[in-house]
Structure 1
């Protein structure tokens, strides 16, 4: 089948301004149009956000029909077929597409992409996009528009197949979405996922994906409240250590207590004593550079975590409600500084994790599935940055990021899954594979989450002090600055581990 690429145009995302910078005296980057989205598990090839997934059993292959929430999700999606998301075109055979690259660390790629349009009457040939020698690939936080012409009628467009044309390690692409302009207006084909290896090389996602258009079913609403036969139980523990240069400062020394702890500007909490069936976990990382202005960001992160702990204990179960409550308390107490934050709530009755993440703290979900009986990485939250070294963060200044900017995610959980939360001190110094292997060895020895957390902190600390080691941070810095970097990144390190039984 013949076809042509008619037009290419690059533009900045409306929700990001890559030319503004973060500096100690001006910590935050303003936004032209702030956004938040529901990010699916990174392995999920299907739809998310305000989408209708035709068969979400295919979108959640790791879980299969044996898992209640995944099956319920598929049932709800199949029941609502009143709105057909197939795309009507503005002109026969001509397609106006816009590709949005995400605004997370390492999202861009120098590699071109191959796409194929799939309609009710046939498929197009493969189009190679992003192969402009002057501006190859796709840049972080930007969109590129293309006009494609297909000589034969495809009928209504059902899906878009996309893959990296020349993939290699460390040049993965975080594709946010594809938009198509048709008679009905703008139709979105969401992705919110990596293609290939991410910039740190520690997450190896699929090289290709089939994207389906949005419809009427919202992912969050589609996950029905079907109770598990046996509720899960959460066994959690946490640990913080301060940056080695802060060890002599009594205000920065680590304090590790049950349910709440801190070290340096990092802090954490975990608790299951609030609403029955709801557990809460959190990590916050205060921005040290405020110290130059006489401000202790450790107070900010500690207050966020203690306030989130109280919100969970008082019965809050919605993760965004917990985030807003913690932020409001810090504002009312007029605490200065800023902090990244990662919050997780777990509903043990239905086996579901909800998260809200601002910045470069984050979490992993590790576990086994009927499809893959070996413990493996089931989900990793992306690092949310304005640019390298400038993460999203809550703060006292008006131009700080807000709870509405948080990345939201929903992840099904199963017995024996392990959730690992960490500040960037963990994820800059250990890749996902290292974390997975360490957790596997401890789970095999039936170690308590406290032992797992302590060992992860120990490894991350040793890696941070090794000047010759290749780490996620050195790989990301190499890509960001186009210079070779080696070694770990000395920092406060915080880890929270929760095992589901």
Structure 2
């Protein structure tokens, strides 16, 4: 609330000219260490305000300086003199500055769901004591009030017998360190999700080298700053933004060839600098869907929109957890249906490959509503 509004609502009915003058002096002394009661006053003889029925004059600082004053640590500072300026505007215009507010005016209300490919049970989305990320098979993800991330560990490392392969741990560390990097930022305006991914990648490589573990993972990080969603993606994780029941943004997969995505790992030539970057203007009420390829390989865009519409009809309010649960369950059912025409099947046929039905995979989905 602005100072003028606060003063008018809470103080003006009880203030007279003398009290207003005293109050203004205190405000100026607070905002400027070099002003004192001897250098500021309100003269009730010259001008009038539509808000305050008594006349006044405002005095303010000029660029002229007087003798320097020295502090206790013997550092001299120039002290401004006071310049007389008659004013026909309210004294509150001079004092009126909004109180400090958080930089982000928008935030994310989120839900998350995950189903491993070898089970029909939802995973727990409660963080344990060791990691800030959640594990879902070889998928991992994190969520905050201002950012979301998902990683999909590359499962083909299981076929390498001579190495200690653990893509599930690799992806979990990647998302864990992304979360901890985001926690370090106090100046949130200048944050770059690609730099977050780079720092997370370096720490994950360090850990896996020390522990003798190999693995690789795709990854996607989205960070909300004011009304802008900043996205960095490497590989085949997906994100879409829905506004008024229409998809206004959907990223494309990064593939070296069919089913061979870009990925971050010890033996991979791909690096965070190779990732896609997007900046999308968003609005209050937008719905963000973010997930591993287990969602987007099994559900078309119209399937996602239909599931969101059904979730909204069954509830008086839009609940991100209800939407994420329904999307995860529908993708799980589609992945096990051999007669289902899936996006993965369509892409395989486009490459001249025979494939039928959905794709069995770990399924991780995060849903956030901009509020």
- Does residue 389 (structure 1) correspond to residue 268 (structure 2)? The answer is no
2:334 matched residue in structure 1 = 463
- Does residue 291 (structure 1) correspond to residue 138 (structure 2)? The answer is no
Candidates 260, 282, 291, aligned match of 2:133: 260
- Closer/same/farther in 2, CA of residues 395 and 246 from structure 1, 3 Å limit: farther
In structure 2, how many angstroms separate the alpha carbons of the residues matched to 1:384 and 1:359?
Answer: 5
- Does residue 401 (structure 1) correspond to residue 270 (structure 2)? The answer is yes
TM-superposed CA distance for 1:229, in Å, is 11
1:270 matched residue in structure 2 = 143
1:322 matched residue in structure 2 = 196
In structure 2, how many angstroms separate the alpha carbons of the residues matched to 1:326 and 1:230?
Answer: 24
TM-superposed CA distance for 1:254, in Å, is 3.7
| TM-score (structure 1 length as normaliser) | 0.48
Backbone CA RMSD of aligned residues:
2.3
1:242 matched residue in structure 2 = 116
Residue pairs, 1:349-498, within 5 angstroms: 349=226, 351-368=227-244, 375-397=245-267, 399-444=268-313, 445=315, 446-483=317-354, 485-498=355-368
1:307 matched residue in structure 2 = 177
* More helix as a share of residues: 2
TM-superposed CA distance for 1:260, in Å, is 3.2
TM-superposed CA distance for 1:246, in Å, is 10
In structure 2, how many angstroms separate the alpha carbons of the residues matched to 1:270 and 1:455?
Answer: 19
TM-superposed CA distance for 1:481, in Å, is 2.1
Is the 8 Å Cα contact of residues 240 and 267 (structure 1) preserved in structure 2?
A: no
Is the 8 Å Cα contact of residues 108 and 147 (structure 2) preserved in structure 1?
A: no
In structure 1, how many angstroms separate the alpha carbons of the residues matched to 2:332 and 2:353?
Answer: 26
Unaligned runs of at least 5 residues, structure 1: 1-226, 248-252, 273-278, 369-374
Is the 8 Å Cα contact of residues 266 and 298 (structure 1) preserved in structure 2?
A: yes
- Closer/same/farther in 2, CA of residues 245 and 449 from structure 1, 3 Å limit: closer
Residue pairs, 1:204-243, within 5 angstroms: 231-243=105-117
TM-superposed CA distance for 1:255, in Å, is 4.0
In structure 1, how many angstroms separate the alpha carbons of the residues matched to 2:286 and 2:275?
Answer: 24
| TM-score (structure 2 length as normaliser) | 0.65
Question: 2:109 aligns to what SS in structure 1?
Answer: strand
* More strand as a share of residues: 1
In structure 1, how many angstroms separate the alpha carbons of the residues matched to 2:310 and 2:243?
Answer: 13
TM-superposed CA distance for 1:262, in Å, is 1.5
Residue pairs, 1:22-61, within 5 angstroms: none
Question: 1:244 aligns to what SS in structure 2?
Answer: coil
Is the 8 Å Cα contact of residues 229 and 280 (structure 2) preserved in structure 1?
A: yes
Q: How many residues of Structure 1 are paired with residues of Structure 2 in the alignment?
A: 254
In structure 2, how many angstroms separate the alpha carbons of the residues matched to 1:246 and 1:396?
Answer: 32
Is the 8 Å Cα contact of residues 236 and 292 (structure 2) preserved in structure 1?
A: yes
Unaligned runs of at least 5 residues, structure 2: 1-100
Q: Based on CA coordinates, which of the two structures has the bigger radius of gyration?
A: 2
Query: Deviations for 1:28-74, whole angstroms, at most 9, x for unmatched residues?
Result: xxxxxxxxxxxxxxxxxxxxxxxxxxxxxxxxxxxxxxxxxxxxxxx
1:197 matched residue in structure 2 = none
Which is further off, 418-427 or 310-319? 310-319
TM-superposed CA distance for 1:390, in Å, is 0.1
TM-superposed CA distance for 1:352, in Å, is 0.5
